[in-house]
Amino acid sequence: MTALVEYPVRSEVTSFLSGGPKRLLIGGEWVPAASGRTFPTHDPATGAVLAEVAYGQTDDVDRAVRAARRAFDDGPWQAMKPNERERLLWRVGDLLSERAEQFGQLESLDNGKSAGIATAVDTAWAADVFRYYAGWATKIEGSTVNVSMPFAPGGQFHAYTLREPVGVCGLIVPWNFPLLMAAWKLAPALAAGNTVILKPAEQTPLTALLLGELFCEAGFPPGVVNIVTGFGDAGAALSGHDDVDKIAFTGSTEVGKKIVDAAKGNLKKVSLELGGKSPNIVFADADLDLAVEGSLNAWLFNHGQCCVAGTRLFVEGTIFDEFTRAVADAASQVKIGPGLDPSTQLGPLVSQEQFDKVTGYLAAGLADGARALTGGKRWGEQGFFVEPTVFVDVEPEFSIVQEEIFGPVVAAMPFDADAGVAAAANDSIYGLAAGIWTKDISKAHRTARQIKAGSVWINQYNGFDTAMPFGGYKQSGWGRELGAAGLDAYTITKSVNIAL
Ligand code: NAP
Ligand code: MG
């Protein structure tokens, strides 16, 4: 039996969690679900209930969509100047920075991730995203177009484009980076002048609700930001709603496809960030110490619960045994524990469901004939902890090689540099990210072009930046988030042509 020590929780986190069930944010008011129902959200390190949360369903989604529609069509939001939207978004960024520790601890309790990382990475980056898109609010521009109009010889014209907000946007986010994924969607959507309904994941609704308080405090007009907590049926109601103009979704490829189906009714716009099974490629000429450390980060960051996780580790055959041994040794040294323990490097998985899924893949890998250099089973007897696991002796058709596991599990495969690695790396329905480790600059660029993935990181992994577009090839998604490209998902172009 592994006894889990209790760690001190900040008073502002305790006070947020006390005081009765958390409510929905609709039209600027905190309201219970129409049904009066609530559901519990848990600490995955202990299984303890953290809070009861309003169980939003179709009626609540309807109310939220009406509020967002009113705010879009009639509210002060449309009349606001871009620099006023800029100031409001900047204020949210500042409030997030001021309260980063509160957000970090709350995220850690709800999700299981390290509180230190949730503060320094998730929350700090979310604040950066709000400030980045605050800056864009005043820089969303159309263009003047030098038209020829061959059917109107002799005419003179003044033609230009406007980039307008899409309208009412449903933002559906997962549990792996609850606050950050919300920020990635909210900030560009609001910078562009849309109104939104945010639907957090059932496992991790708390930081979205705390963020809702910041929107109220910053002075956003009622109805611009609405938050409906609940389950998949609330997400489905949003995706199928005829008065929603756009859905932005991050989550599984399976649910992404359901959203595409549901969106058909009114042909709402859809952008999708879906699953991955990303290749991480280590050439023999790499800085191997750097590559060991980076490869560990590639598949273990956030306990492997990353859409970009580098879970197919391709290692040049001449260094395969030595390199995988070094990765396994480093993985076995990782400190496992609850997220509130400052020394924790690997926390629990988010839920019983995710724990069952990941341990199921461990069993399937072993049954298929894979060998675990380290790990291969749960850790301890309490909480949803899984040992970091390095599989070798794997075949391309094994489920642990093909399917997204979303846990601390990597499958390592040797490759022959002369034969090339791109075909094996691209043998996936996904195409989200890739890592390449080599000191040969030409090989690095050449391989980057051969890999079908939305992000390629060279001599690093998880090389994200707010200014760099992010998104998938193949079944990893539609559209891009972050950067200037991230605004495309939340704007629609109008062409205006005037005969002079
Ligand atoms: P998921 O079902 O795709 O959930 C993502 C979001 O979609 C949640 O807010 C979810 O609500 C909502 N949702 C569920 N069913 C919906 C529907 N029919 N229509 C609209 N929205 C719906 O992901 P999950 O069940 O949490 O995780 C399952 C697997 O997906 C994981 O094991 C992992 O492999 C993958 N995943 C990928 C990512 C990623 O970033 N690519 C993130 C999370 C999970 P509820 O939370 O209430 O179900
Ligand atoms: Mg789900």
Mean pLDDT of 264-283: 98
52 strand-pairing partners: 40
pLDDT at 3: 38
- What is the phi-psi region of residue 118: left when phi exceeds 0, alpha when psi lies from -120 to 50, beta otherwise? alpha
Retrieve residue 109's tokens.
């309790």
- Closest ligand to 235 CA? 1
pLDDT at position 21, please? 97
State the average pLDDT for the chain: 96
Question: φ and ψ at 384, to 5 degrees?
Answer: -95, 55
Cβ–ligand 1 distance for 175 under 6 Å, the answer: yes
**pLDDT category, 2, cuts 50, 70, 90?**
very low
List, for residues 101-127, the tens digit of each pLDDT value: 999 999 999 999 999 999 999 999 999
Q: Degrees (nearest 5) of the Cα angle 182, 183, 188?
A: 115
The pLDDT of residue 75 is: 83
Average pLDDT over residues 283-293: 98
Q: What is the pLDDT of residue 162?
A: 98
CA of 239 relative to ligand 2 center, distance in Å:
15
Phi, psi angle pair for 412, to nearest 5°: -105, 135
Ligand nearest the Cα atom of residue 173: 1
Q: What average pLDDT does the segment 176-191 reach?
A: 98
327 vs 191, 288, 332, 379, 416, CA distance in Å? 43, 10, 9, 19, 20
Up-side HSE of residue 415: CA atoms within 13 Å toward CB?
Answer: 21
Q: Quick check: 282 pLDDT over 50?
A: yes
Average pLDDT over residues 489-499: 98
Residue with CA at minimum distance from ligand 1 atom 38: 251
More confident of the two residues 44 and 426: 426
Question: What is the token pair recorded at 168?
Answer: 């009412």
d(CA 164, CA 143): 13
Q: How far is the CA of 203 from the centre of ligand 2 (A)?
A: 9
Percent of the chain with pLDDT over 90: 95
pLDDT in tens, 437-483: 999 999 999 999 999 999 999 999 999 999 999 999 999 999 999 99
Examine the residue annotation and report whether 273 is marked as an active-site residue of this protein. yes
pLDDT at residue 4, as a whole number = 43
CA 359, 365, 368, 371 torsion-angle sign: negative
pLDDT single digits (tens) 37-87: 999 999 998 889 999 999 999 999 999 999 999 999 998 998 999 999 999
Question: Nearest residue CA, atom 9 of ligand 1?
Answer: 201
Q: pLDDT tens across 313-364, in order?
A: 999 999 999 999 999 999 999 999 988 899 999 999 999 999 999 999 999 9
